[in-house]
Amino acid sequence: MAVMLASAAALVGCVPAPATAPLTAPPAPMTAARDEPAPRLTLPPPPELVSPVLLGLPPAIAQGGVALGTAPVGTTRLTLDGAPVVLASDGRFLIAADRDATGTLTLTAALTGARTLTATLPVTPRAWRLERLDRVAKVPVPDADFARRRPAELRQIAAARAVGANSDGWRQRFHWPVTGRISGLFGAQRIYRGQPGSYHGGVDVARGEGTPVVAPADGVVTLVADPPFTLEGRLLILDHGAGLTSAFLHLSRIDVRVGQQVRQGEPIGLVGRTGRASGPHLHWAMTWRGVRIDPQPVAGAMPAG
Ligand SMILES: [Zn+2]
């Protein structure tokens, strides 16, 4: 696959081939006269534009969505809008678009021999569910106990998402961790008297307390919040590798420990209503490198029953 893509990349006809400038400038003679022309610069040739399809990517990426791609053979470094992307040994990689991303994402692959390929990936806008509440003021700041406990909880969540575990779960076709009625959508947002509240950062599945939750893909456990956190309740975070994580909130019980490798489909805990939850449900949140993404298209259609 990667070999084919690499050769295909060289066939992009509408882009002129990069200038074949020498990679190293000839050494300037020590006795050079002052009016002699300066030695040629050693800058790499300009990037070659490729279609995202040639990187194994879809032609566009949805807001809050992920995409898998394959970098050409010889890629030494891959960046998305300037930030490094984890590149597997076979060239596979994963990228995501923020819920509020607009315009295009720019992928740049640096290849051996100072060649550079660049692909721009348009971001497809989505219509997020917005609810305007003109009579309700934004929820007031919670109590002193919350204010005292919250900073440490947020630090633990950030640390768990930044572990960078060695897992190939990101390559798998994700499953739903529980099946049931979707009771809350990713990206939904309330506007209080014109003031936007924070948007819903995961997908909610309504199920009874005690329903088993399974790993949607392979991963490494990076956080077990037990005793429960103020908002998330009993919270479990899995690292699927390549910067992709899953968080499971409001659990009544967690059956795995930090550092444990779990397999897709393996039971990891039970649905509950711990933390700030109006009833028993699973809130499943995903992030890629800190960008919040929508688990729903990652897992696909909800199976019946
Ligand atoms: Zn939720």
Could you tell me the maximum CA-CA distance found in the chain, to the nearest angstrom? 85
Q: Using a cut of 0.85, tell me whether the model's pTM lies above it.
A: no
CA of 25 to the centre of ligand 1 (A): 59
**92, pLDDT greater than 50:** yes
Phi (first) and psi of residue 89, to 5 degrees: -65, -25
The average pLDDT across 64-75 equals: 94
* Predicted local distance difference test score (pLDDT) of residue 194: 83
CA of 296 to the centre of ligand 1 (A): 13
CA of 115 to the centre of ligand 1 (A): 45
Phi (first) and psi of residue 52, to 5 degrees: -55, -25
CA of 206 to the centre of ligand 1 (A): 10
CA of 126 to the centre of ligand 1 (A): 19
At 209-263, the pLDDT tens digits run 999 999 999 999 999 999 999 999 999 999 999 999 999 999 999 999 999 999 9
Residue count of the chain, please give it: 305
* Predicted local distance difference test score (pLDDT) of residue 90: 94
Give the Cα separation of 46 and 117 in Å (integer): 9
Q: Are the C-beta atoms of residues 216 and 239 closer than 8 Å to each other?
A: no
- Please choose, from the candidates 213, 239, 216, 188, the residue with its C-alpha nearest in 3D space to the C-alpha of residue 298: 216
At 104-148, the pLDDT tens digits run 999 999 998 888 999 999 999 999 998 887 776 666 666 888 999
**31, pLDDT greater than 80:** no
CA of 284 to the centre of ligand 1 (A): 7
SS (H, E, C) 121-142: EEEECCCCCEEEECCCCCCCCC
CA of 185 to the centre of ligand 1 (A): 8
Q: At 55, is the pLDDT very low, low, confident or very high (cuts 50, 70, 90)?
A: confident
CA of 192 to the centre of ligand 1 (A): 19
**281, pLDDT greater than 50:** yes
Give the Cα separation of 202 and 204 in Å (integer): 7
